[in-house]
Amino acid sequence: MNSPLACLTVSAGWFFLAGCGAARQQAVQAAAQPAAQFSSDPREEQVLRATGVVQAVHSMSVRVPQLAQTSAQGGRSTIVRLVKNGVEVKEGDTLVEFDRTALLDQRIEAKAKSDELKHQLDEKRAQVRSDLTKREAQAKEAAADVEKAKLQLRKGPILAEIDRLKAEAKAESAQARVASLEKSNALRIKAEAAAIRILELKLERQQVMLERIDTNLDRLVVKAPRAGMVALENIWRNNSMGPPQEGDQVWPGSPLVRLFDPSRMVVETTISEADFQYLGKAATAKVYLDAYPGTEFRANLQTASLVATAGLDSPVRSFLARFLVVEQDKRLLPDLSASIEIDLRAANLRASR
């Protein structure tokens, strides 16, 4: 006869074995199931991250002016006044001013030479008029001598032979003098006209020189052609790249200032060919400036290239995308590096609508 204690012991052992078997079976089933895999599909993360560069929709570059040649000297120009970076300017405000001392000295010399040529031209014209008056008087005197000689020749029948010969000689001499005066007068008129023309050409050339100097003086003061914000370009100075400063000597054609419209700024970035298919037409993004940690701006997709491009030695193709920044901020300057986070969930939701 079994005792109650023995029955209780057997029952407990059976339940223990059953519980161990169930736990072992659950462990085996769990081991047989595959582990959770995180897909690289950007739609599951809902955020596509990329890097780009801030640019202005409307911008123009202000460069060192090219000066007209006025002397053998030339080359670099020295900055004496430069607008500050990030300043908003109006149309007509001075952006850059260069040293004009040498040109002002050239203008003084050119103006003095021009005045001297004007004085020489006036003197030459007065002398020509005086000489012409004298020659006209001589021509009238020679013509009068010819008339007198002809009058004496009319008295030939009543004159002695010797007087008649003298009258003929005087008439021939007077006619020869008139012909000589006419010929010399014509040559003198041409020579005097040439001399006056030479002085006129010298004066015109000097006036052109003055105009070039005045034009160069105006070019050395660069004014803003329109309103906008200023961003200084990077130039080669002191064996490194950096923004220009007052006192720097720069070559003609070098970029100095970029004038842009701060109300429309974009971030240009590249999207890989694999990720571009998840980018909707109405994509929005958050923009973070690397130069200003903690700043955040909202942006909307403006344009995207239709064809993917790749580098010469790279098999990876990418699309160029431009995101228009919604906010306006003075810290949004061209050529600043930025990182963007594109909200794919909102883009796909808008695209589905």
Distance (Å) of CA 207 to CA 66, 70, 101, 212, 241:
20, 12, 20, 9, 42
In the β-sheet with 255-260, what is the strand arrangement from edge to edge? 59-63, 255-260, 228-232, 88-89
Q: Which two tokens stand for residue 353?
A: 């609508």
Q: Look-up: residue for tokens 């963007």?
A: 340
Rounded CA separation 84/4 (Å): 101
Rounded CA separation 348/350 (Å): 6
Rounded CA separation 68/107 (Å): 14
Q: 135-141 long-range contacts, Cβ below 8 Å, gap at least 24?
A: 135/181, 135/184, 135/185, 135/188, 138/181, 139/178, 139/181, 139/182, 139/185
- CA torsion sign, 65 to 66 to 70 to 73? positive
**If phi over 0 gives left and psi between -120 and 50 gives alpha, with beta otherwise, what is residue 36?**
beta
Whether pTM exceeds 0.75: no
Closest by CA position to 347, among listed 262, 240, 275, 255: 275
Buried b (16+ CB within 10 A) or exposed e, 341-351: bbbbeebbeee
Print pLDDT tens along the chain (353 aa).
444 433 333 343 433 334 444 444 443 333 333 332 333 444 445 788 899 999 999 999 999 998 887 765 667 899 999 999 888 999 999 999 999 999 999 999 999 999 999 999 999 999 999 988 988 888 888 888 777 777 776 666 656 667 667 767 777 887 888 888 888 888 989 999 999 999 999 999 999 999 999 999 999 999 999 999 998 988 888 788 888 999 999 999 999 999 999 889 999 999 888 788 777 666 888 999 999 998 999 999 888 888 888 877 778 888 899 999 999 888 888 889 999 998 776 555 554 55
